[in-house]
Amino acid sequence: LVTRLKPFTSTIFAEMSQLATEQGAINLGQGFPDTDGPEAMLAAAQKAIASGDNQYPPGPGIPELRAAVARQQARDYHLDYDPQTEVLITVGATEAISAAVVGLVEPGREVVMIEPFYDAYAAAVAIAGGVRRTVPLRREGDGFVLDRDALQQAVTDHTALIIVNTPHNPTGTVLTDNDLSAIARVCVDHDVPALTDEVYEHLVFDDRVQRPLASLPGMRERTLRISSAAKTFNVTGWKVGWISGPPQLVAAVRAAKQYLTYVGSGPFQPAVALALDTEDAWVHRSRADLQRKRDLLTTALREVGFDVISSEGTYFVCADARPLGYEDGTAFCLDLPRTVGVAAVPVSAFVDDSAPWKSMVRFAFAKRDDVIAEAAERLLHLR
What does the binding site for ligand GLN look like in residue numbers (CB under 6 A)? 11, 13, 30-31, 169
Q: Give the x-and-dash track for 115-154 against ligand PMP (CB under 6 A).
A: ---x------------------------------------
Among 70, 184, 187, 230, binds ligand PMP (CB under 6 A): 230
Query: Out of ligand GLN, ligand PMP, none, which partner does residue 13 contact, by CB within 5 to 8 A per kind?
Result: ligand GLN
CA distance linking residue 323 with residue 139, whole number of Å: 16
Spatial contact of 145 and 138, defined as CB atoms under 8 Å apart: yes
52 vs 237, which CB is nearer to ligand GLN?
237
How many residues sit in the footprint of ligand PMP (CB under 6 A)? 14
CB-based burial label for 118 (10 Å; 0-12, 13-18, 19+)? buried
31 vs 337, which CB is nearer to ligand PMP?
31
CB of 236 to ligand PMP, least distance (A): 5
Stretch that binds ligand PMP, among 22-30, 88-96, 271-279, 374-382 (CB under 6 A): 88-96
Q: Verify binding: residue 169, ligand PMP, rule CB under 6 A.
A: yes
CA distance linking residue 196 with residue 165, whole number of Å: 6
Query: Out of ligand PMP, ligand GLN, none, which partner does residue 57 contact, by CB within 5 to 8 A per kind?
Result: none
Query: Out of ligand PMP, ligand GLN, none, which partner does residue 197 contact, by CB within 5 to 8 A per kind?
Result: ligand PMP
CB of 85 to ligand PMP, least distance (A): 23
CB-based burial label for 268 (10 Å; 0-12, 13-18, 19+)? buried
Spatial contact of 162 and 187, defined as CB atoms under 8 Å apart: yes
Q: Verify binding: residue 236, ligand PMP, rule CB under 6 A.
A: yes
Within the chain, residue ranges assigned H as helices are 12-23, 39-50, 63-77, 92-104, 119-128, 148-154, 177-190, 229-232, 247-260, 268-278, 280-304, 329-339, 369-379
The residue sitting closest to ligand PMP, measured at its beta carbon, is 92
| 3-state secondary structure at position 219 | coil
159 vs 165, which CB is nearer to ligand GLN?
165
CB of 288 to ligand GLN, least distance (A): 22
Stretch that binds ligand PMP, among 89-97, 134-142, 151-159, 214-222 (CB under 6 A): 89-97
Among 99, 114, 199, 213, binds ligand PMP (CB under 6 A): 199
31 vs 37, which CB is nearer to ligand PMP?
31
| 3-state secondary structure at position 245 | coil
Spatial contact of 115 and 351, defined as CB atoms under 8 Å apart: yes
Show the beta-strand stretches assigned E in 168-236.
194-197, 223-228
Among 133, 202, 225, 231, binds ligand PMP (CB under 6 A): 231
For residue 302, the number of C-alpha atoms closer than 13 Å in the C-beta half-sphere is 11
Single out the residue of 81, 61, 91, 73 nearest to residue 269, CA to CA.
61
Spatial contact of 177 and 166, defined as CB atoms under 8 Å apart: no
